[in-house]
């Protein structure tokens, strides 16, 4: 468990660097990330390489024993590079080329940018690859940020055709898979296929889905290029990319597979503000963030990281980029840091060392204020550094957390539901989060895993709406022995986005013999009551209408109009709608108990996480709480009475 910081020596007079490095060290910082936006200082004009300042910056940090996470600067190609090649800037869905003047203004499919990137990455690798202080490399910065995964440029279109050829082999196979006979959209060759934009009404959904899959593959290809070069020049160093929070525009699993560490950038207050949360939730958690939001991302990235995941950027105070930017309650920077470690983080790195008084992010806090006095976040980071020492002294190195509950996560489900939505608010990320949040409110530790993960050892597996079922998944779920819960719309489409011939849930029918014969989406404010014994709730957003002629299928709950709402066949459970949070948690509680787990309804805002024989308790609420089952526990941090925004770390409590 170590702390890091993001630092921009190019923003500050060189006379400040040594003092900065000394103060970082004194604060307890171990690693410093630099360079991700510094291309115009490294190469102010084509081929004019200025390493001297960067050599000195690295040397200054190294002299204090700080490790350097060196970044490739490819998120910000300089002006001269844009002017040299006319295909670097990406093209948006309106066919308009993006402009220079911010960042991420490049097209993953541009050949010239691919080559320019190879060149600058190689130069950096040659220069710093074997530097003893450089222990890790970050590729680029936040792939896809600012809606930059998909480009509709001529280069993207050309590469898309090649991608389709490789996927389908013949144009007839593509025509059949997509169903292009509808509206006379049949193609005679791959060369006739354009990007799916500019059509009169909606473009063919299978075409759009494939375009998104292609764009996702382009990100993986681009990252792999950088990683391959860096590995060759920088043996033994850790390869990492900083992914974003709840960002689903490309499939992260294949990208992470090429790295050693998946890291992510955690901005709990900004996220709450810009994501789907209803206004009352935004107000409720205004200065803390939602109690399950950061942890969802921790558990997601832990599940794709070969080595312990990192938080590469941790919110240290107010951000600048949401509609409203409140400041965190005192204690939250500490709580967020401990929450990351509780979920398995190997490093929490704060963004940024000092608030910068110019340009786009001048209103974004740092550990230090622009006047160079330590800010609140800096004080809390220092406390975390001291507490890390205490915890490691008491408990040694902590093993990674391992949940008994797995949540199956699939990036392409998001694309499919967005492209073919049928109900305007059917949002995969939100529903996956709601299931996760229900499980966490029951005190359960959750692993978020991809569809091809090993399912051994899980007692309960939850699949948020999962439209496309891989061929081998039903058998693997059966073999796992776990209680399995599926959300609505599971198995509703084939891989080419068609209705399965035997109706949904298609491939799942081998383990769950039901048929969804009709669906309906529900506009906001429309709900359908449901009752399961004592448990009452409401469905919103969506309903599957289900039939079955298998005597082994039990209908556990029905809607008021008689349609089945919750069904079960042996260990397989099917939720035929999106239910409210209490009903979902109530049902999960029953399933978890059936799975032999010990679910417990936690106090509002309290969250628990187990790691390496320790329990971490975090209080997001504005009232103190008494920890459940902490009698006789040996507290390393905090005690059984947890104040608002408090953290307790203990061992020996009853599980």
Residues designated as active site: 142, 313
Reduced to 3 states, what is the DSSP secondary structure of residue 106? coil
Nearer to ligand GAL, 189 or 360 (CB): 360
How many CB atoms within 10 Å of residue 570? 13
Q: Which 263-302 residues touch ligand GAL, going by CB under 6 A?
A: 265, 267
Query: Could you say whether residue 140 binds ligand GAL (CB under 6 A)?
Result: no
Round the CA-based radius of gyration of the chain to a whole number and report it. Answer: 25
| Paired tokens of 442 | 């029951």
| Dist. CA 607–CA 619, nearest whole Å | 7
Query: Could you say whether residue 145 binds ligand GAL (CB under 6 A)?
Result: yes
Nearer to ligand GAL, 364 or 611 (CB): 364
Q: CB of 622: closest distance to ligand GAL in angstroms? A: 25
Helix/strand number for the chain, H first, E second: 18, 25
> For the chain, how far is it from start to end, CA to CA, in angstroms?
24
Number of residues that bind ligand GAL (CB under 6 A): 11
- Three-class DSSP labels, 537-599: EEEEEEEEEEECCCCCEEEEEEECCCCEEEEEECCEEEECEEECHHHHHHHHHHHHHHCCCCC
Binding mask 57-76 for ligand GAL (x = CB under 6 A): --------------------
Q: CB of 362: closest distance to ligand GAL in angstroms? A: 11
Query: Could you say whether residue 8 binds ligand GAL (CB under 6 A)?
Result: no
Reduced to 3 states, what is the DSSP secondary structure of residue 313? strand
Q: CB of 217: closest distance to ligand GAL in angstroms? A: 23
According to CB under 6 A, which one of 207, 282, 343, 364 is a site residue for ligand GAL?
364
Nearer to ligand GAL, 282 or 364 (CB): 364
Q: CB of 620: closest distance to ligand GAL in angstroms? A: 21
According to CB under 6 A, which one of 141, 148, 151, 263 is a site residue for ligand GAL?
141
| Dist. CA 508–CA 476, nearest whole Å | 11
Q: CB of 311: closest distance to ligand GAL in angstroms? A: 12
According to CB under 6 A, which one of 313, 339, 387, 544 is a site residue for ligand GAL?
313
- Three-class DSSP labels, 121-154: HHHHHHHHCCCCCEEEEECCCCCCCCCCCCCCCH
Find the part of the chain contacting ligand GAL (CB under 6 A) among 58-66, 128-136, 313-321, 406-414. 313-321
Binding mask 231-270 for ligand GAL (x = CB under 6 A): ----------------------------------x-x---
| Dist. CA 121–CA 124, nearest whole Å | 5
Find the part of the chain contacting ligand GAL (CB under 6 A) among 140-148, 168-176, 182-190, 274-282. 140-148
CB 492 within 8 A of CB 546: no
| Paired tokens of 28 | 């307890």
Nearer to ligand GAL, 10 or 361 (CB): 361
Residues composing the chain = 655
* Count of CA atoms in the C-beta half-sphere (13 A) of 40: 13
Reduced to 3 states, what is the DSSP secondary structure of residue 172? helix
Contacts with ligand GAL by CB under 6 A lie at 141-142, 145, 265, 267, 313, 319, 321, 351, 361, 364
């Amino acid at each position: 468990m170590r702390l890091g910081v993001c630092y921009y020596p190019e923003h500050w007079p060189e006379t400040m660097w040594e003092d900065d490095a000394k103060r970082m060290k004194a604060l307890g910082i171990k690693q410093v990330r630099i360079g991700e936006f510094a291309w115009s200082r490294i190469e102010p004009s084509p081929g004019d390489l200025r390493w001297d300042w960067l050599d000195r910056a690295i040397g200054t940090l190294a002299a204090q024993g700080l490790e350097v996470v060196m970044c490739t600067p490819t998120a910000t190609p300089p002006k001269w590079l844009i002017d040299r090649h006319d295909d670097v800037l990406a093209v948006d869905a309106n066919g308009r080329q993006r402009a220079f003047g911010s960042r991420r203004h490049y097209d993953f499919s541009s050949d010239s940018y691919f080559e320019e990137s190879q060149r600058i990455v190689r130069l950096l690798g040659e220069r710093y690859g074997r530097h003893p202080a450089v222990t890790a490399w970050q590729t680029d910065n936040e792939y896809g940020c600012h809606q930059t995964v998909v480009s509709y440029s001529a280069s993207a279109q050309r590469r898309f055709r090649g991608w389709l050829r490789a996927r389908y082999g013949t144009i007839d196979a593509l025509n059949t898979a997509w169903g292009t006979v509808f509206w006379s959209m049949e193609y005679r060759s791959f060369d006739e296929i354009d990007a799916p934009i500019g059509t009169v009404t909606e473009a063919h959904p299978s075409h759009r889905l494939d375009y998104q899959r292609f764009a996702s593959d382009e990100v993986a290809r681009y990252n792999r290029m950088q990683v391959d070069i860096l590995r060759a020049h920088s043996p033994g160093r850790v390869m990492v990319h900083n992914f974003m929070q709840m960002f689903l525009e490309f499939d992260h699993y294949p990208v992470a597979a090429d790295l050693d560490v998946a890291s992510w950038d955690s901005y709990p207050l900004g996220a709450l503000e810009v994501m789907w949360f209803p206004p009352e939730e935004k107000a409720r958690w205004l200065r803390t963030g939602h109690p399950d939001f950061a942890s969802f991302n921790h558990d997601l990235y832990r599940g794709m990281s070969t080595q312990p995941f990192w938080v590469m950027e941790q919110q240290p105070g107010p951000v600048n980029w949401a509609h409203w930017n409140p400041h965190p309650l005192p204690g939250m920077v500490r709580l967020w840091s401990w929450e990351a470690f509780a979920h398995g983080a190997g490093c929490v790195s704060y963004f940024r060392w000092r608030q910068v008084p110019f340009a786009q992010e001048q209103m974004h806090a740092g550990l230090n204020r622009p006047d160079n006095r330590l800010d609140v976040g800096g004080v809390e980071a220092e406390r975390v550094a001291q507490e890390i020492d205490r915890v490691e002294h008491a408990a040694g190195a902590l093993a990674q957390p391992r949940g008994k509950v797995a949540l199956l996560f699939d990036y392409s489900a998001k694309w499919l539901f967005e492209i073919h939505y049928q109900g305007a608010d059917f949002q995969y990320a939100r529903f996956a989060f709601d299931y996760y949040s229900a499980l966490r409110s029951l005190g359960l530790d959750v692993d978020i895993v991809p569809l091809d993960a090993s399912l051994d050892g899980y007692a309960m597996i939850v699949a948020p709406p999962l439209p496309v079922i891989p061929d081998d998944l039903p058998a693997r779920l059966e073999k796992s022995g776990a209680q399995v819960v599926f959300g609505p719309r599971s198995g509703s489409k084939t891989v080419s986005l068609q209705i399965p011939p035997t109706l949904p849930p298609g491939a799942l029918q081998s383990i769950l013999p039901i048929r969804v014969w009709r669906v309906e989406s529900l506009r906001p404010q429309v709900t359908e009551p449901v009752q399961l014994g004592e448990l009452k709730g409401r469905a919103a957003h969506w309903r599957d209408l289900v039939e079955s002629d298998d005597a082994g299928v039990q209908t556990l709950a029905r809607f008021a109009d008689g349609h089945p709402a919750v069904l079960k066949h042996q260990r397989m459970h099917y939720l035929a709608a999106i239910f409210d949070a209490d009903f979902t948690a109530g049902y999960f509680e029953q399933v978890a108990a059936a799975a032999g787990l010990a679910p417990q309804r936690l106090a509002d805002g309290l969250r628990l996480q187990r790691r390496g024989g320790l329990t971490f308790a975090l209080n997001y609420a504005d009232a103190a709480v008494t920890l459940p089952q902490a009698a006789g526990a040996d507290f390393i941090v905090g005690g059984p009475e947890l104040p608002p925004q408090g953290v307790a770390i203990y061992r020996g409590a009853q599980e």
